[in-house]
Amino acid sequence: MRGVVARSTLLRFVVLSAIQLVTIKMSAATCDALSIGTPGTKWGVTEIKRWRMTRVKQRSYYEDVLPKVEALRKKCENAFEVIQYGELPLIVDDNEVGAAAGEGKSSFPLFAIRSRNWSKDKPNVLITGGVHGYETSGVMGALLFAESGKAEYYSKYFNIFVAPCISPWGYERVQRWNANAVDPNRSFNPDGEIVEGRSFNPEAATEESTALIQCLKGDDMKQVMGDNSMDNWICHIDLHETTDTDETEFRPAKDARDGIVWTEESKGEIPDGFYLVQDSTSPKSGWFAAMIDSVKKVTHIAPADSEGKLIGEEISQEGVIGIPNNKHLGLCAGVTNAPYRATTEVYPDSPKATPEQCNEAQVACIVGGLDYIISEEKIIAATTE
């Protein structure tokens, strides 16, 4: 027993050491971002290019994500099909151009896993991950939902569309933004409502958001969902993380980009645990409670901070914060008119959670949400596919 504990402790040390190594790299990137441009002056084209060229590639979309997608093509072929819904330019550092060319890589192909026998008699469910590429469990959780057989089980009740890695450039460089220093999770409605001083404001459209929107609105989806394809979703769960680097790297970088002078007093408190983001225009409190209860079986739920809030936002119910209309904010969770819509937030830096638990928490949330909808909406499983 002692040997088992020792091996477990050693494994935990290795995992934490890996996390700490990434943190060290990201801390260096923080210094780079804050040193770009003139404090108090918004970045222009030159500053954005300098920021992009100093974002170091740390992992591979081609090696980590695409093999899993290809494996699903075979493993789930009876229930699902893998479709390529878009392609993004392969923006690389100057010293990576030769290597990328030598490997025959000229773009990031974007893939989704979709119910093969899409039926107009079933409700439609959208699962998205990797909108923020650096949020690992968003990507791996979406893939695990399919790999584990859960997606196939729920395909008896729903048509399911899973887009696991919307921002591959951000995934490779462990970045929140895309290569043009735009937040993809504020880019799904560039004409949304901007409120001065609010942390949730829409930004310019990105190739990442445009690719998904064009797919969901395209002729292929209209054939299976009808002309009002964006209105015909019952559920959309967008998988995310809240990390320590949100405050140590990305908020300072955002202030630098936007011409705001960053100070240590600007730093907020990161919640230790899982929580959900609720669209206050479609609260569905029972649904959120069911998802939180499901996640509790896997990992801990974030407690309120000293002010009774989470990330500066009011708590609407246990483990849930409410924010304004997701569509108005340009969030991915607002891309459709699904009545059941939510953004998950896993805390991967917690000493109480492993990377595996983070992935499983994402799946548990999806499972809890879909079970609730089946019960609440009285959805009957299809007898044949």
Report, as an integer, the average pLDDT of 275-286: 97
User: Given this model, what pLDDT does residue 91 score?
Assistant: 82
Share of the chain above pLDDT 90, in %: 78
- Length, in residues, of the chain: 385
User: Given this model, what pLDDT does residue 11 score?
Assistant: 40
4-18, 144-158, 216-230 — most confident range: 144-158
With bands split at pLDDT 50, 70 and 90, how would you rate the model's confidence at 230? Answer: confident
Report, as an integer, the average pLDDT of 128-142: 98
Query: In the predicted model, is pLDDT for residue 232 greater than 70?
Result: yes
Cα separations (Å) of 154 from 8, 72, 78, 122, 274? Answer: 34, 16, 14, 11, 23
Distance CA 17, CA 23 (A): 10
User: Given this model, what pLDDT does residue 94 score?
Assistant: 60
User: Given this model, what pLDDT does residue 21 score?
Assistant: 40
Q: What is the pLDDT of residues 314-336, one digit of tens each?
A: 999 999 999 999 999 999 999 99
The dihedral built from the CA positions of residue 78, 111, 239 and 361, taken in this order, carries a sign that is positive
Query: In the predicted model, is pLDDT for residue 4 greater than 60?
Result: no
User: Given this model, what pLDDT does residue 259 score?
Assistant: 95
The answer to whether 184 touches 175, Cβ cutoff 8 Å, is no
User: Given this model, what pLDDT does residue 268 score?
Assistant: 87
User: Given this model, what pLDDT does residue 311 score?
Assistant: 94
Q: What is the pLDDT of residues 96-112, one digit of tens each?
A: 555 554 466 789 999 99
User: Given this model, what pLDDT does residue 102 score?
Assistant: 47
Query: In the predicted model, is pLDDT for residue 300 greater than 80?
Result: yes
Report, as an integer, the average pLDDT of 140-163: 98
With bands split at pLDDT 50, 70 and 90, how would you rate the model's confidence at 30? Answer: very low
- Least trusted range by pLDDT, from 26-35, 58-67, 255-264, 293-302: 26-35
Q: What is the pLDDT of residues 64-95, one digit of tens each?
A: 999 999 999 999 999 999 999 999 999 866 65
User: Given this model, what pLDDT does residue 93 score?
Assistant: 64
Query: In the predicted model, is pLDDT for residue 6 greater than 80?
Result: no
The answer to whether 252 touches 33, Cβ cutoff 8 Å, is yes
The answer to whether 292 touches 336, Cβ cutoff 8 Å, is no
Q: What is the pLDDT of residues 34-43, one digit of tens each?
A: 889 999 999 9
What is the rounded average pLDDT for all residues in the chain? Answer: 89
Share of the chain above pLDDT 70, in %: 88
Report, as an integer, the average pLDDT of 293-322: 97
Query: In the predicted model, is pLDDT for residue 25 greater than 50?
Result: no
Query: In the predicted model, is pLDDT for residue 136 greater than 80?
Result: yes
With bands split at pLDDT 50, 70 and 90, how would you rate the model's confidence at 353? Answer: very high
Closest CA relative to residue 185, chosen from 201, 174, 198: 201
Report, as an integer, the average pLDDT of 107-123: 96
Report, as an integer, the average pLDDT of 285-304: 98
